[in-house]
A and B are shown apart, each in its own frame.
Chain A
């Protein structure tokens, strides 16, 4: 963050201008926008990827389950976003074009790393010009491809994009990261990760935005049943995955367990 001394010095007004100590304040403000968004996490497993979002509900009049925060951008890739929703919509729309163009060029689905590369490059371009502002979005890109198996990447407003075993962003990211670090990633299954993801989102919510309503949104990427491309190598499944919503029953069960663990956790705190 710009220190209080550097705010108002004029160096934070334009994208194309560095501050004397070499920072781009517009990018840092964008990051700030993300830090206010609902928590989003991604877990890379040995047989797929799980994405989960804490969708904060601003009004009880909104239809439950509407305004999704995790988007499918191709059969095998999902993107979970935290931050400004309209920015996220544009970002995923670009990801869909990238995926579609890749198919047109190479007659094959886009690898996850290439998608992360492309989207990192796209986000970075919005840090260079005075006529634009950076994306107020951090995107967690999860997917499964033939060469690399499960892939999980996180692209930030600066354009930086790292690969992760477990990724977290949004206001509950610190609590979520602490929980993710305790998991033996990537050596868990998607089914286990679904339960963990639900628990972590509930935990992070409890920690950061207890007063707000939220919905848990979860998707996974895994091989379709009976998929031909399945091969085991070093414990990881490879092949083109399918990104879809986690079945309702599984989400309900994971939420039940999450709430249970919260009550347990709550008691502990009471004891302390």
Chain B
């Protein structure tokens, strides 16, 4: 009996000559990611007094082709956190399914009332992204991590290079150019956060999604929005701190009150005569 499974079912060498095994291994070297394939565009997020609001549209593009129009790019991770992803969709799915989901399940094994909070998830993701860039095999994403942590709202960004930063108003991709200036008008700095209501924050983010749809050719008029709100830190003895965190979802939201009036003024394209 031959104990090498790869030899089973093949012509006998002594009868047919040596087996040509060249097709068994690829002639190409191992390849690492050099560019994203199916991509999502901006993620937009803003802090307000008592929480954070985060939004991302439902489009996944294949180059300039609007390939999938029902992709969810915001995902709840654990009890305190929502992660929004721009960039490569398969890398995003890898992050969630292969890394974050098992991470959360393992955290719950302990059953000790401790849960991974937004800062923990953020730190974990940042290190994964940085380690992958150091291996020259990046996960091609820009992530926003929004949540509630130790009595405060949490919002921070991490990208495929491992670059990390935090601010009260953040947006990735095209939104970094178009949405951030709009959001900073509402919220110039951390001190301004306490004067922003939940409704104002939602309105500001919805306005950003609209402007992005007008000007970002890789965006969609259908998006998801998550509102993370927290209620302080209530002490429950034994040194454990318990926070009441609520995550409200608005999925498949259609853009409202669009105005394409400006389009009438555009000259120089199409069939119109001056």
Contact = CB atoms under 8 A, between A and B. Distances in A.
Direct contact between the two chains A and B in their complex (CB within 8 A) = yes
Interface of A: 68, 71-75, 96, 99-100, 103-104, 107, 219, 244-245
A107 B94 CA distance: 12
- Give the interface size class of chain B: under 10
A72 B107 CA distance: 10
Contacts of B108: 72, 75
Contacts, number: 21
B97 interface: yes
B4 interface: no
Interface of B: 97-98, 101-102, 105, 108-109, 111
Contacts of A96: 109
- Chain B interface, DSSP helix/strand/loop, else mixed: helix
Given A72-B111, A100-B105, A104-B98, 5 more contacts: A72-B108, A72-B109, A73-B109, A100-B102, A107-B97
B73 to A, nearest CB: 18
B105 A244 contact: no
21 contacts: A68-B111, A71-B109, A72-B108, A72-B109, A72-B111, A73-B109, A74-B105, A75-B105, A75-B108, A96-B109, A99-B105, A100-B102, A100-B105, A103-B101, A103-B102, A103-B105, A104-B98, A107-B97, A219-B111, A244-B111, A245-B111
B234 to A, nearest CB: 16
A219 B110 CA distance: 13
Contacts of A99: 105
A108 B31 CA distance: 30
Contacts of B105: 74-75, 99-100, 103
Contacts of B109: 71-73, 96
A104 B98 CA distance: 8
Contacts of B111: 68, 72, 219, 244-245
